Structure 1
Amino acid sequence: MLRIDTISYSVEGRPLFEGASATIPAGHKVGLVGANGTGKTTLFRLIRGELTLDGGEIALPARARIGGVAQEVPSSDTTLLDTVLGNDTERAALMAEAETATDGARIAEVQTRLADIDAWSAEARAASILKGLGFSDAEQRMPCSAFSGGWRMRVALAGVLFAEPDLLLLDEPTNYLDLEGALWLESYLARYPHTVIVISHDRGLLNRAVGGILHLSERKLTYWQGPYDQFARQRAEQRANLTAQAKKQEARRAHLQSFVDRFRAKASKAKQAQARVKMIERMDTITLPEDAAKRVFTFPQPDELSPPIVNIEGGATGYGDRQVLSRLNLRIDQDDRIALLGRNGQGKSTLAKLLSDRLALMDGRKTAAAKLRVGYFAQHQVDELRVEETPLQHLVRERPDTPPAKLRARLAGFGLAAAQAETEVGRLSGGQKARLSLLLATLDAPHMLILDEPTNHLDIESREALMEALNAYDGAVILVSHDMHLLSLVADRLWLVKDGTVRPYDDDLDAYRRMLLTPERAATPAKPAETPAPKPARPSRDAILALRSEVRKCEARVEKLNEMRDKLAAKLANPELYAEDRVGELETWNRKYAEVMDGLDRAEALWMAALEKLETAEAR
């Protein structure tokens, strides 16, 4: 259980927490939400002990392990798999000790503990986590130095998930995941065996992976049971009730004040007027919850073009001589809302670049409307903004002939107020940078807007505002996003990028989510009633590999203990050991022999059990 008891904390004189309290029961999955800048990440640092409280207490069970993703895995020659395995420090230490230990009793303890923590299946578990986060079997054997920072962040996430801390703290974990990785993470967190607190603006994750919401507002913490949609509904109801009560209170206060103002100077009513003054003073003012800051996006509307605005026949594209996509037969009209689906590496970003003229066709034919304007937003463009310039300077460079007042109005239409317009980009938040990039992408009122992960760094209110702006927009929208909530409310067509081509996906997003989470289940036609019951499903390849690995480890453990038994038996066969003056030494060696034999019995039992599991699995 995590107990936060009346904590207070300030940054440069600005209070972030004042008497905030909350209790998170052990094993609960909780979403930490609140407006940007209220102190969510700071709370994580306080829980980890990286910052010192001004007052109050944060208490955890003794020896509880806290884990989180602080930064990306450094570039090194260590493979991804070994990097993840190294996060379980206890297992790594025990494995090393198992190779060097000579004391029989200690060997038995080490082997028992390794069995208790399921050490022999660790490699398969680590591989499964890496696969869920988008790494193929071949990539798992590659060094960390072969991957970019964003991908090494995934490795860091895989490492902390593998280590399974008692309290898992995750800060915006889906920001560097694609849709498939985000859906896998949702499913994994829902099954995680310990306590989880996750800062997220991903409404899908907050609805499917957590069972409670910890809301940070007005320097206080409030724990709400249920997923995010339930929290939002209950908080709206609470606000409506408080608003009604506040209106009644204000009417009562006005009525009392009217009596006081009317009769205070009249001697016969002076006592009654004074009594009403005291009643007004004793009133507890009803305070309404803070309003969520209004987020806005104002997309300029394009003129209408004749359909189709883009048409591709027999198209193929790629990089250099390497073809990534082929057999492309695609049509886009100006009123289309298309979501691109597909696993990582299948070519979604390649298709987005082709549609935005950042890649050319290698084969086939592409036609586009003569006056077609295309807007393109990708996460890397946020990182390419000029950090030393202000948002206003960015717009002046793009529109040097436009009066500054009009440019400021354009910035305000994307939620960048006067203060942010004159602030250097390097000092803006991630969400404010994303807004500026979105503004630059739509500056020309494009007929087709291509958005590759537009919601990273946007809070929930901003995501809702983006959804509203896209639905009001008169141009075509091509979306690549891990935000299922945004996709479900904006897209009305789904394209699946798979096996080197692009095809319409005729089912819905829920079906696609189920397919991603249960890939081994192929749809089969219903069988007649008289058909015998099917055999149990064959275990997955990962499960069988894990069992084989466990058998090999058990066998190696038995061999090591047999070697030790033989050495001790040879020692005990020495007649000199039985001399009267060596009785104490004989007892010591006999005790060690008994300990090794006890450890050998356990190891052989584990080996036989592992063999039986493997044989049963392979027989299916």
Structure 2
Amino acid sequence: MIRLDSISKQNGQRLVFIEASAALQRGEKIGLVGPNGAGKTTLFRMITGQEEPDEGQILVDRGVSIGLFSQDVGEMAGRSAVAEVMDGAGAVSEVAAELATLETAMADPDQADRLDAIIERFGDVQARFEELGGYALDGRAREVLDGLGFSQEMMEGDVGKLSGGWKMRVALARILLMRPDVMLLDEPSNHLDLESLIWLEQFLAGYDGALLMTSHDREFMNRVINKVIEIDGGSLTEFSGDYGFYEQQRALNEKQQQAQFDRQKAMLAKEISFIERFKARASHAAQVQSRVKKLEKIDRVEPPKRRQTVVFEFPQAPRSGDTVAALRGVHKRYGSRVIYDGLDLLVRRRERCCVLGVNGAGKSTLLKLVTGTTEPDEGSVTLGGSVKLGYFAQHAMDMLDGDRSVFETLDRAFPQANQGALRTLAGAFGFSGDEIDKPCRVLSGGEKARLVMALMLYDPPNFLVLDEPTNHLDIATKEMLIAALAQYEGTMLFVSHDRHFLAALSNRVLELTPDGIHQYGGGYTEYVARTGHEAPGLHAG
């Protein structure tokens, strides 16, 4: 359906693609992977014609419709979420608009002399609307929005009043409703909660077009894709299978290439040593000459390109008392909405509690109560002895000073630390080379999240409260964070929609339900086994 034929592309001084080729066939669900800045977004833009390759061509079969979801959703206002979603449904939305215009015209006395022609046209347009499934469209739009977590009020309300994250969901719903022949999804999992994420997995499993997507959620990738295209160093490499298979295959390829490189290196050393030894002897001149020629003809094996994986070991947190946080008889409401009605909860040392609950169940509120960001209406929240608290929330990213560079931010926070240690810290969180001198105001959401995390973990608190810490992190940074937190000896209370993160780090689950907190020991994996579902809003079967 889509072929990339020897494409080359340069952005400024950087070569993004060098004679790269790949293809996307009907029914293929492909995960596009590669380090940050490798050119994933550029590739999407070239397929949709927003950018041209410098050389080579991108061939799209005739009549193939393409839908692109990107993080840049543009302006939305003045319409309901349902209308906004239906507007993107291709031809049917144009027909719907003409129907509405004709309905207005039929009721307009000034156009009475044209009434017969208008009615005739209305009949034709209505038939076309029905043929395109127009009347079922409203229901389908609502079904998609419901799957992505919208309440009825949100569907009917002005889309302009929604937050950025919810507007993203509207933009995603638009592409899903359109069901184009090819879907290009750039980070569709970013702003979704666990229920919506699992709904989206099921939706994409039933979608019969071709899919090309990027995602920082490995579990989501594993369940959706059946092929991986890796962008690295300007070329595109295809792997059949899911993300887990790609990782194994990549490691195996690296190992084989290293072995080949080592073998060739040993062989070359032997030949060179022979040449050096005998080049001055006339009796060996012919042999030396033939070996020099042989060496000139050999294709050199390159050593494997190693992904930079930085491991950062966090200093040990000081020990706290056995009771870390205690909530007694806590009541909390927002307006007429009761969030907690007499909540009791005890968090003990070294517990890693993940908080699950449907949208609006009060997950973030619980974290705000524990951290003192929000006061209870009644009841008490107390932290135990020697507790040193660290709180990561999305708003922490807005607190960074835009004029300071990444390095200045770290240096100001830890004036006693030596520069080498701060550079290692920055490198572990993905700031290498010149990136350490970037001012905070130009950082992306992901970069800001990584910087805030680095600030919090360099001198670690013994009680970490994390609200969606992995939202903007790429897979490599997430892996580094999971490995580091697995060694962490303090206590954790966290909300996350990343199942890999939940399973790797939790040892207790707090599920918020209308009739209080249900608790499960053994962490997220145990919770799934016991309940038969992966999130509170989904039920087995």
- Give the TM-score normalised by structure 1: 0.78
Stretch of structure 1 that moved more, 428-437 or 135-144: 428-437
Change (3 A) 1:218 1:394: closer
1:446 CA displacement: 1.1
Change (3 A) 1:159 1:510: farther
Does the 8 Å CA contact 2:353/2:510 hold for their aligned counterparts? Answer: yes
1:405 CA displacement: 6.3
What does residue 85 of structure 2 align with? 84
What does residue 591 of structure 1 align with? none
Does the 8 Å CA contact 1:296/1:462 hold for their aligned counterparts? Answer: no
2:341 is equivalent to residue 326 of structure 1: yes
Does the 8 Å CA contact 1:414/1:436 hold for their aligned counterparts? Answer: yes
- Partners of 1:177 and 1:510 in 2: CA distance: 23
Unaligned runs of 5+ in 2: 103-115
Does the 8 Å CA contact 1:339/1:495 hold for their aligned counterparts? Answer: yes
SS in structure 2 at match of 1:508: helix
Q: Which of 197, 209, 213 in structure 2 is aligned with 1:198?
A: 213
Q: Which of 508, 514, 527 in structure 1 is aligned with 2:527?
A: 508
1:293 CA displacement: 1.5
Change (3 A) 1:64 1:102: farther
Does the 8 Å CA contact 1:392/1:421 hold for their aligned counterparts? Answer: yes
Q: Deviations over 1:58-79 (max 9, x none)?
A: 1111122221224335242311
Q: Which of 239, 244, 247 in structure 2 is aligned with 1:229?
A: 244
- Partners of 2:99 and 2:289 in 1: CA distance: 84
Residues 106-117 of structure 1: matches in 2 within 5 Å?
A: 110=125, 113-117=128-132
- Partners of 1:123 and 1:256 in 2: CA distance: 75
1:496 maps to amino acid: E
Residues 33-72 of structure 1: matches in 2 within 5 Å?
A: 33-70=33-70, 71-72=72-73
- Partners of 1:251 and 1:361 in 2: CA distance: 70
Change (3 A) 1:519 1:435: closer
SS in structure 1 at match of 2:365: helix
1:10 CA displacement: 0.4
- Partners of 1:502 and 1:321 in 2: CA distance: 21
What does residue 299 of structure 2 align with? 284
1:514 maps to amino acid: H
1:469 maps to amino acid: A
Residues 176-325 of structure 1: matches in 2 within 5 Å?
A: 176-319=191-334, 323-325=338-340
- Partners of 1:518 and 1:343 in 2: CA distance: 6
Change (3 A) 1:403 1:232: closer
1:333 CA displacement: 1.7
What does residue 20 of structure 2 align with? 20
1:466 maps to amino acid: L
Stretch of structure 1 that moved more, 183-192 or 49-58: 183-192
- Partners of 1:434 and 1:202 in 2: CA distance: 16
Change (3 A) 1:383 1:188: farther
1:509 maps to amino acid: V
1:312 CA displacement: 1.9
1:259 CA displacement: 1.4
Computing the radius of gyration from Cα coordinates, the structure with the larger value is 1
Q: Deviations over 1:391-421 (max 9, x none)?
A: 2332454455666666556545645446443
- Partners of 1:413 and 1:93 in 2: CA distance: 50
What does residue 421 of structure 1 align with? 436
Q: Deviations over 1:487-544 (max 9, x none)?
A: 111112111122274321465236668365994667xxxxxxxxxxxxxxxxxxxxxx
- Partners of 1:131 and 1:399 in 2: CA distance: 46
Does the 8 Å CA contact 1:183/1:517 hold for their aligned counterparts? Answer: no
Stretch of structure 1 that moved more, 76-85 or 32-41: 76-85
SS in structure 1 at match of 2:323: coil
Does the 8 Å CA contact 1:186/1:205 hold for their aligned counterparts? Answer: yes
2:306 maps to amino acid: D
Change (3 A) 1:458 1:289: farther
1:314 maps to amino acid: G
2:355 is equivalent to residue 370 of structure 1: no
2:442 maps to amino acid: R
- Give the TM-score normalised by structure 2: 0.89
Change (3 A) 1:164 1:322: closer
Does the 8 Å CA contact 2:358/2:537 hold for their aligned counterparts? Answer: no
1:74 maps to amino acid: E
Q: Deviations over 1:117-138 (max 9, x none)?
A: 3222111111111111111112
1:315 CA displacement: 2.0
Does the 8 Å CA contact 1:19/1:220 hold for their aligned counterparts? Answer: yes
The percent identity for this pair of structures is: 36
What does residue 441 of structure 1 align with? 456
1:47 maps to amino acid: I
1:508 maps to amino acid: Y
- Partners of 1:375 and 1:433 in 2: CA distance: 17
Does the 8 Å CA contact 1:296/1:466 hold for their aligned counterparts? Answer: no
What does residue 337 of structure 1 align with? 352
Does the 8 Å CA contact 1:172/1:199 hold for their aligned counterparts? Answer: yes
- Partners of 2:334 and 2:119 in 1: CA distance: 60
SS in structure 2 at match of 1:27: coil
- Partners of 1:519 and 1:406 in 2: CA distance: 45
- Partners of 2:60 and 2:479 in 1: CA distance: 36
Q: Which of 409, 416, 420 in structure 2 is aligned with 1:394?
A: 409
1:326 CA displacement: 2.6
SS in structure 2 at match of 1:304: coil
- Partners of 1:4 and 1:132 in 2: CA distance: 34
Does the 8 Å CA contact 1:264/1:270 hold for their aligned counterparts? Answer: yes
- Partners of 1:517 and 1:94 in 2: CA distance: 40
1:448 CA displacement: 0.9
1:103 CA displacement: 8.4
Q: Which of 117, 129, 132 in structure 1 is aligned with 2:147?
A: 132
- Partners of 2:342 and 2:511 in 1: CA distance: 13
Change (3 A) 1:257 1:399: closer
Q: Deviations over 1:241-273 (max 9, x none)?
A: 111111111111111111111122222211211
SS in structure 2 at match of 1:176: coil
- Partners of 1:335 and 1:447 in 2: CA distance: 9
SS in structure 2 at match of 1:131: helix
What does residue 169 of structure 1 align with? 184
Change (3 A) 1:519 1:60: same
Does the 8 Å CA contact 2:357/2:535 hold for their aligned counterparts? Answer: no
Change (3 A) 1:22 1:151: same
Does the 8 Å CA contact 1:296/1:415 hold for their aligned counterparts? Answer: no
Unaligned runs of 5+ in 1: 523-620
SS in structure 1 at match of 2:189: helix
- Partners of 2:209 and 2:295 in 1: CA distance: 50
- Partners of 1:235 and 1:293 in 2: CA distance: 14
Q: Which of 360, 367, 390 in structure 1 is aligned with 2:375?
A: 360
Change (3 A) 1:103 1:26: farther
2:362 is equivalent to residue 347 of structure 1: yes
Does the 8 Å CA contact 1:183/1:513 hold for their aligned counterparts? Answer: no
1:85 CA displacement: 1.0
- Partners of 1:166 and 1:366 in 2: CA distance: 54
